[in-house]
Amino acid sequence: MSERLPVISGAQLIRALEQQGWEVIPQRGSHVRLKHPDRSVFLVVPLHRELKRGTLSGILRDAGLDRDELRKLL
């Protein structure tokens, strides 16, 4: 597995998650909510230019993705 997470924006992460079947649901403010049809959990992605590593790591954990899978989707 790769050493570090890539530095990406919230918009880039949303595009990658949409490729995995996550759908954007109506939002208010600067945080986008995503729902997967097969899972009961929601993801919340802030629309920042650069996501902090801890935030990105938590979102990937909740989405069931690892770093290598994310790199392939980018």
- Mean of the per-residue pLDDT values of the chain: 90
CATH of the domain spanning 10-73, picked from 1.20.1250.20, 2.30.33.40, 3.60.15.30, 3.30.920.30: 3.30.920.30
The percentage of the chain sitting over the pLDDT mark of 70, rounded to a whole number, equals 97
Strands (E) across 1-74 are located at 23-25, 31-35, 42-46
Q: Domain coordinates of the chain in residue numbers?
A: 10-73
pLDDT tens figures, 5-19: 888 999 999 999 999
Mean pLDDT over 54-66 rounds to: 92
pLDDT above 70 for 55: yes
If one counts every other C-beta atom within 10 angstroms of the C-beta of residue 22, the result is 21
User: Band of the pLDDT at 21, cuts 50, 70, 90?
Assistant: very high
Write down the pLDDT at residue 29: 86
3-class secondary-structure state, position 44: strand
* 53-62, long-range: CB < 8 A, 24+ apart: 53/4, 53/5, 56/5, 56/8, 56/13, 57/5, 59/13, 60/5
